[in-house]
């Protein structure tokens, strides 16, 4: 596989490339308040979950398509690019309709080859960068299979997100990092940009700085970090979200030994 750059116009290839924003788009005010502050702090790509795949029914499953209007407003008002998770054909159509600049496949979706194939078929002929999270289970081949499904329909602007692997063991992490898995992926595909998602690995905001530094020491290209204007009131993943101000501190604390990707 020969990958092409996921960089969007105006974004340079300095490490880390940072994608930040709330776990979920909740209300227009929450999205705009978070986005404005992130943009002021120099963030160039905004993330927000519009459709949320929850482990159990009954939780907040995302606002759905109406939230795409808020993402469009983020683009228009702040100039940031916007990224969201897609899990079905309908999500892809809707996200494209509202001008989403980058999409990612979530860990639960990547564990399901039929879902990945449906998304890939919908994206055939579309020129958009796509990031593929690792599957929930520690299965490198399944992760690579998802990359191949996207690549085979002509999506060459690909990257991956290491978000950790679920475990029944009691650990400090929400999802075990198992660093050797993304390291092996990078060994096989040296040109594939790897992002770390310290928010979902750690599950708590106190772990984000250390995990981000570890990712930088392993020469990851970027970080995707959940940031919310009022984390304790977040409707999903509240323990792991940081304010834009705290994100700024975390990022400025990182020691980057080799800045190029
Ligand atoms: C998310 O990014 O908010 C998310 C649902 O992540 P994951 O697919 O890694 O669980
Ligand atoms: Mn989340």
Of the chain, the percentage scoring pLDDT greater than 70 comes to: 99
**Could you read off the pLDDT of 180-209 as tens digits, one per residue?**
999 999 999 999 999 999 999 999 999 999
Going by the DSSP 8-state scheme, the letter that residue 176 receives in this structure is B
Measured from the CA of 107, which atom of ligand 1 is nearest? 8
Residue among 147, 107, 104 nearest 129 (CA): 104
Give, using CA atoms, the residue closest to atom 3 of ligand 1: 23
Q: State in Å: Cα 108 to ligand 1 middle.
A: 8
Assess contact for 158 and 6: CB atoms under 8 A. Answer: yes
Query: Any residues with Cβ below 6 Å from ligand 1, and which?
Result: 23, 49, 106-108, 133, 163, 200
Residue to mutate, 56, 91, 163, ligand 1, most ligand atoms under 8 Å from C-beta: 163
- Domain spanning 17-253: which superfamily? Aldolase class I (3.20.20.70)
pLDDT surpassing 60 at residue 177: yes
Using 50, 70 and 90 to split pLDDT, how confident is the model at 47?
A: very high
Please report how many Cα atoms fall inside a 13 Å half-sphere around the Cα of residue 97, on the Cβ side.
Answer: 11
Measured from the CA of 224, which atom of ligand 1 is nearest? 2
Encoding tokens for residue 257?
Answer: 């030994």
Residue among 152, 133, 148 nearest 189 (CA): 148
pLDDT surpassing 50 at residue 243: yes
How far, in whole angstroms, is CA 85 from its chain's centroid?
A: 8
Measured from the CA of 164, which atom of ligand 1 is nearest? 9
Assess contact for 236 and 60: CB atoms under 8 A. Answer: yes
Q: What's the pLDDT score for residue 257?
A: 87
Q: State in Å: Cα 106 to ligand 1 middle.
A: 5
Q: What's the pLDDT score for residue 261?
A: 47
Q: State in Å: Cα 59 to ligand 2 middle.
A: 13
Q: State in Å: Cα 201 to ligand 1 middle.
A: 10
Which listed ligand is nearest to 166 at the C-alpha? 1
Measured from the CA of 108, which atom of ligand 1 is nearest? 8
- Other beta carbons within 10 angstroms of residue 253's beta carbon come to 10
Measured from the CA of 52, which atom of ligand 1 is nearest? 5
Residue among 219, 116, 220, 112 nearest 163 (CA): 220
Mean pLDDT of the chain: 97
Q: How far is CA 204 from CA 3, 31, 79, in A?
A: 33, 21, 30
Assess contact for 25 and 67: CB atoms under 8 A. Answer: yes
Look up tokens 């078929």; give the residue. Answer: 121
pLDDT surpassing 70 at residue 259: no
Mean of the pLDDT values across residues 234-251?
98
Distance CA 90, CA 176 (A): 31
Give, using CA atoms, the residue closest to atom 6 of ligand 1: 106
* Alpha helices (H) in the chain, listed in sequence order: 28-40, 66-78, 89-97, 107-110, 113-123, 140-151, 180-188, 198-202, 208-217, 244-253
Residue to mutate, 54, 106, 108, 227, ligand 1, most ligand atoms under 8 Å from C-beta: 106
Which listed ligand is nearest to 104 at the C-alpha? 1
Look up tokens 């943009």; give the residue. Answer: 39
Of the chain, the percentage scoring pLDDT greater than 90 comes to: 95
Give, using CA atoms, the residue closest to atom 9 of ligand 1: 107
């Amino acid at each position: 596989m020969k990958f092409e750059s996921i960089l969007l116009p105006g974004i340079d290839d300095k490490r880390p490339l940072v994608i930040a924003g709330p776990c979920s788009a909740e209300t227009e005010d929450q999205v705009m308040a978070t986005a404005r502050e992130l943009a002021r702090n120099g963030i160039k790509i905004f993330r927000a979950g519009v459709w949320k795949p929850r482990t159990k029914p009954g939780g907040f499953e995302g606002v759905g398509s109406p939230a795409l209007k808020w993402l469009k407003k983020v683009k228009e008002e702040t100039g940031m690019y916007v990224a969201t998770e897609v899990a079905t054909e309908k999500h892809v159509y809707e996200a494209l309709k509202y001008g989403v600049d980058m999409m990612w496949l979530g860990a639960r979706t990547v564990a399901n080859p039929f879902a990945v194939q449906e998304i890939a078929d919908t994206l055939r002929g579309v020129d958009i960068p796509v990031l593929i999270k690792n599957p929930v289970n520690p299965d490198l081949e399944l992760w690579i299979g998802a990359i191949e499904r996207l690549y085979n329909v002509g999506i060459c602007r690909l990257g991956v997100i290491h978000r950790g692997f679920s475990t029944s063991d009691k650990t400090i992490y929400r999802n075990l990092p198992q660093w050797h898995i993304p390291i092996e992926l990078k060994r096989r595909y040296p040109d594939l940009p790897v992002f770390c998602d310290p928010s979902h690995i750690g599950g708590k905001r106190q772990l984000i700085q250390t995990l981000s530094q570890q990712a930088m020491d392993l020469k990851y290209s970027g970080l995707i970090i959940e940031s919310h204007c009022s984390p304790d009131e977040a409707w999903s993943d509240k323990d792991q979200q940081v304010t834009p101000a705290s994100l700024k501190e975390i990022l400025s604390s990182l020691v980057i030994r080799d800045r190029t990707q």
